[in-house]
Amino acid sequence: MSDKLQAWLLELRTPLAAVATAVLVLNLLSWGFGEAPWATLLTAAAGSWGTVYGIGQVLFKATPLLLAGIAVDLALRAGLFNIGVEGQIAIGSLAGTLVAIVLPPGLPTIVAVPITLVAAAASGALWAGVAGWMRARFGAHEVITTIMLNRIADALVAMIMTSWLALPGTVRTPDIAPSTSLPRLEALFDALSGSAVSWAFPASLLVLVGVYGWLRHSRLGRELVWVGHNEKACAAEGIPVGRRKILAMALSGAIAALAMAGMVLGYKGYYEIGLGAGVGFGGIAVAFLGRGRPLGLLLAALVFGTLAQAGLVINAKVPKEATGILEAVVIITIALSSRAAAKDAQRRAASASKGAA
């Protein structure tokens, strides 16, 4: 077997393992709740990819997951594990919503939407940048600091909402200005009527292409990746390692905060406590399943978007809590398979270097 074929099969191991695990666990859950496994699987497939509406819902659910996955992967490339995407989404969503509420109603959409997204991204960047600065300045591990920042974000958002911003008797903000709303794609495709997918999905694809184009073709982006590979070598070459790590975390937080585009601007029209909960941790799974490749990240987001939509479709047969188990098992499978694939890749690289010697 050629080296290229072996490498290709190695890349397929993780996604195939994830899909196989999802099918197996769904069948077991169906059987456990007294439902016919094959019928449940067909219902899930028909409700997600069997109709145009279902496809639209999958794309809607995949949009924030894709942005969260990009955010996690960008930090990983700089040698950082941003586990605080959940908090960055919450802070960015609240800040962006606040700006969207106070903007003049007559402001053109082409101006209002970018202002709102810049406010969200800047807030997410500042929130994540704190963890990057603490890593660069004090050596504080970003996993610990981002976990703590997640807890602080939850408390801060709850305090602002309940004490000031939320409408009386609710956990939601007032409606955003009409000019800040993102049109839904049903305006272009009638078959998507009723689906929540909006222009946030194609915008997330532009973010995906832009980020990885920047990483590959700009000096600053390449330095960020080099820092992730070897900090000491970069420092010896005069690259400011600390500043690149801060930049990576700030950009990661900014991209994460853009998830509010699909959830607030394109769907709800307001922010509420808990909106987007779980997206940040889902982004970690998307990043690992995508294995650092733009197409891989997109496909991984679609996989988890499909699981989310399928869980709603079969909710009458299999409780939502049980489908949460399905997603958790798939994430564990991805982690184990990715680890095994990494070890195999290291083993093959070591064998190749010995052969060359």
Asked if pLDDT for residue 65 goes beyond 80, the answer is: yes
The helices-and-strands tally (H runs, E runs) of the chain is 14, 0
- Quick one: how far is CA 84 from the chain centroid? 11
pLDDT number for residue 350: 66
> Is residue 255 domain-resident?
yes
Q: Which two tokens stand for residue 20?
A: 């196989």
Kindly state the percentage of the chain with pLDDT values over 90.
65
Phi-psi region of 139 (alpha: psi -120 to 50; beta: other; left: phi over 0): left
Tokens of 183: 């049109």
pLDDT (0 to 100) of residue 194: 87
The letter for the amino acid at 199 is W
Q: How far apart are CA 345 and CA 342, in angstroms?
A: 5
Position 258 in a domain? yes
Angle in degrees, CA 106, 110, 115, rounded to 5: 85
How confident is residue 327, by pLDDT bands cut at 50, 70 and 90? confident
Residue at 260 is within a domain: yes
**Residue 265 located in a structural domain:** yes
Residues 6 or more apart whose CB falls under 8 angstroms from that of 85 comprise 68, 71, 72, 252, 253, 256, 279, 280, 281, 283, 284
pLDDT score of 91 more than 80: yes
pLDDT above 60 (res 210)? yes
The H-or-E segment that residue 42 falls in is helix 37-48
Residue 353 lies in a domain: no
Spatial contact of 146 and 132, defined as CB atoms under 8 Å apart? no
Return the CATH number at 99: 1.10.3470
Residue 310 placed within a domain: yes
Determine the pLDDT at residue 190.
85
pLDDT > 80? residue 353: no
Determine the structural domain holding residue 313 and report its residue range. 35-343
User: What integer pLDDT is reported at residue 273 of this predicted model?
Assistant: 94
Q: What is the mean pLDDT of the chain?
A: 89
Please tell me the total count of domains within the chain: 1
Q: Name the one residue in this structure whose structure tokens are 């052969």.
A: 355
Q: Is the pLDDT of residue 5 over 80?
A: no
Average pLDDT over residues 87-107: 95
Give the C-alpha distances (Å, rounded to integers) separating 65 from 109, 124, 247, 270, 281.
Answer: 25, 16, 22, 19, 9
The answer as to whether 170 is a domain residue is: yes
